[in-house]
Chain A
Amino acid sequence: MTEAVNQILNGLQLGLVYALIALGYTMVYGIIRLINFAHGDVFMVGAFVAFFSTSSWHLPFVVAVPLSMVICAVLGVVIERLAYRPLRYAARIAALISAIGVSLLLEYGSSLKWVFGPNYRVVPRPFNVTQWSFRGVQVSNIQVIVLLTVIVLLAALQYMVTRTRMGKAMRAVSFDHDAARLMGINVDAIISYTFALGSALAAAGGVLYSVAYPQINPFMGIMPGLKAFTAAVLGGIGSIPGAMLGALIMGEVDVLSAAYLSSRLRDVFSFSILILVLLTKPSGLLGKSGPEKV
């Protein structure tokens, strides 16, 4: 029983990280109807920036996280500007192919010796790991930190999307670009802002992921990226609460299927969900009729 609780807690930790990535997929989709396949690689860049800023530049961890978020926000804006905006009015498949191109560019570009290098790197723990035990249930300070960080970020996002002028403009743009233009909203600026926001969240996810699973490499973004994408589809792509819900489910499926069914087949179980959702409810759990469509 305590073992099961431990696994559920592990699943929660993974799901929270997936949520940070899934939000970027879903926000970008909501606003320009594009699956940004380079998003998982932004997550990877986030992990590397934090790694270098703590181990090479000896910055404190609490500085490394926001720094990584800012750098990835800029990266996201640049990607949109160079790879997607020129294709805004082209066939949708063109932007999708461009996204795959950006993804490959980030992965193999990062593998270059003078960028991040092709090797696996072990991330030093930014703080000592403490385990607490309550009647056999193990909780580590890493889990607590992941949970608190994600809650703070999600609350901030929720506030921005529902309360601020920019957030309301985002929702207006996601509903109809032309109608938003007629309000005096600079749609291009809102799209840039959305990429910045999504990429910053992915960066935070990358940092937390590398703290929880302390080994990073230039291809580390692929699998979490795909899982988070699946989570976004599961929750209903375009829906922010849907992405959160989908990510939590994906995290549990990932960890529990590895623990109790087969660790070698864990990805089979996760991606079977994608196929099942697409077959039975393509709009996802909270899609379309969801209250917040961004």
Chain B
Amino acid sequence: MILAVKDLNVAYGNILALHGVSFDVEEGEIVTLIGANGAGKSTSLRAISGLVRARGGKIMYHSQEITRTTAHNIVRMGIGHVPEGRKIFANLTVAENLEMGAYTRRDGLEAAFERVFKSFPRLKERLKQNAGTLSGGEQQMLAMGRALMATPKLLLLDEPSMGLSPILVQEIFSIIQEINRQGMTVLLVEQNAYMALQVATRAYVLETGRIVLSGTAAELRENPQVRAAYLGRAV
């Protein structure tokens, strides 16, 4: 098991955002957390990568506890995180953004660039451009490419479809599948449950900070509750 989250509690001030959330990810899988706005999806990812501290519970990565590990060391251990809203460095060029993604690398920079250009050829044309001038789709590609520069073993993706046109969403999701086929384990957070359940192996449904359902993606696609609440279809 590459990642195991057990009874995770996270609070912002006095407001509990996660109430004992447990889930796990096997090597090679695409696991998705789906749920409405404010259900605690992003918070789960932020806790895994150390951006917020867990108030209780345990996060295990490759059977090593990382619950209290600092964010920059978690990156070094091989967890990449593409944050909500992309958070690309708009004041840096595309090339510099990618270099920042490789901040923890000591070697293999060239090869890392080549791999990223293979997945996102459009970034290569824009290397010298300020990242703030990219379109939304390109920014998403840059954010993903930047995370891949460190060659993580586990990639956390937070709402990659946000604000993108349907065609771009298709494109981004096929890239996610492609990266996964090359061996990357992915933990995907999505509001677009339809797309997420298309590509995922397994899924968990979060509601107000609790896991209410889990199963294989195929099972959840057929689940009447999921269909009604998240796929927008009649039961």
Stretch touching chain B among A94-102, A150-158, A178-186:
A178-186
Check if A175 is an interface residue, CB within 8 A of chain B: yes
Q: Is the CB of B100 within 8 A of A185?
A: yes
Q: Is the CB of A182 within 8 A of B83?
A: yes
Check if A3 is an interface residue, CB within 8 A of chain B: no
Name the interface size band of chain A. 20 to 34
Return chain B residues, CB-CB under 8 Å to A180: 100
Q: Is the CB of A181 within 8 A of B100?
A: no
Return chain B residues, CB-CB under 8 Å to A184: 72-73, 75-76, 103-104, 150
Check if A267 is an interface residue, CB within 8 A of chain B: no
Q: Is the CB of B72 within 8 A of A168?
A: no
- A30 vs chain B, min Cβ distance (A): 10
| Secondary structure of the A contact surface, majority rule | helix
Check if A232 is an interface residue, CB within 8 A of chain B: no
Return chain A residues, CB-CB under 8 Å to B49: 181-182
Check if A187 is an interface residue, CB within 8 A of chain B: yes
Return chain A residues, CB-CB under 8 Å to B150: 183-184
Q: Is the CB of A175 within 8 A of B103?
A: no
Return chain B residues, CB-CB under 8 Å to A165: 99, 103
Q: Is the CB of A183 within 8 A of B146?
A: yes
Give CA–CA (A179, B49) in the complex, Å.
11
| B26-82 contacts to A (CB < 8 Å) | 49-51, 70-73, 75-76, 80-81
Stretch touching chain A among B89-97, B179-187, B206-214:
B89-97
Give CA–CA (A181, B83) in the complex, Å.
11
**Most chain A CB inside 10 Å of its own CB: which residue of B50, B81, B147:** B81
- A47 vs chain B, min Cβ distance (A): 34
- A241 vs chain B, min Cβ distance (A): 13
Name the interface size band of chain B. 20 to 34
Q: Is the CB of A293 within 8 A of B89?
A: no
Q: Is the CB of A183 within 8 A of B100?
A: yes
CB-CB nearest in chain B for A290: B91
Return chain A residues, CB-CB under 8 Å to B70: 186
Check if B101 is an interface residue, CB within 8 A of chain A: yes
Q: Is the CB of B90 within 8 A of A183?
A: no
CB-CB nearest in chain B for A189: B72
Question: Given A168-B92, A184-B76, A184-B150, do A179 and B83 touch, yes or no (CB 8 Å)?
Answer: yes
Return chain B residues, CB-CB under 8 Å to A178: 51, 71, 83, 87
Give CA–CA (A116, B194) in the complex, Å.
71
Give CA–CA (A165, B92) in the complex, Å.
13
Return chain B residues, CB-CB under 8 Å to A185: 72, 100, 103
- Which of B73, B81, B90, B99 touches A182 (beta carbons < 8 Å)? B81
- A205 vs chain B, min Cβ distance (A): 26
Give CA–CA (A54, B220) in the complex, Å.
77
Q: Is the CB of B89 within 8 A of A182?
A: no
Give CA–CA (A179, B80) in the complex, Å.
11
Give CA–CA (A217, B143) in the complex, Å.
52
- A293 vs chain B, min Cβ distance (A): 5
Give CA–CA (A186, B150) in the complex, Å.
15
Give CA–CA (A176, B83) in the complex, Å.
12
CB-CB nearest in chain A for B86: A179
Return chain A residues, CB-CB under 8 Å to B81: 182
- B130 vs chain A, min Cβ distance (A): 8
Question: Given A169-B103, A184-B76, A184-B150, do A179 and B87 touch, yes or no (CB 8 Å)?
Answer: yes
Check if A65 is an interface residue, CB within 8 A of chain B: no
Question: Given A165-B103, A168-B96, A168-B99, do A181 and B87 touch, yes or no (CB 8 Å)?
Answer: no
**Most chain B CB inside 10 Å of its own CB: which residue of A178, A179, A180, A187:** A179
- Which of B87, B91, B146 touches A171 (beta carbons < 8 Å)? B91
Give CA–CA (A184, B50) in the complex, Å.
11
Binding site for A on B (CB under 8 A): 49-51, 70-73, 75-76, 80-81, 83, 87-92, 96, 99-101, 103-104, 146-147, 150
**Additional A-B contacts beyond A182-B87, A185-B103 (7; CB < 8 A):** A168-B96, A171-B91, A182-B49, A183-B72, A183-B100, A183-B150, A186-B70
Q: List 26 A-B contacts (CB under 8 A).
A: A168-B92, A168-B96, A171-B89, A171-B92, A171-B96, A175-B90, A175-B92, A176-B87, A178-B51, A178-B71, A178-B87, A179-B88, A181-B50, A181-B51, A181-B72, A182-B49, A182-B51, A182-B75, A182-B81, A183-B100, A183-B101, A183-B103, A184-B73, A184-B76, A184-B104, A292-B91
Binding site for B on A (CB under 8 A): 165, 168-169, 171-172, 174-176, 178-187, 292-293
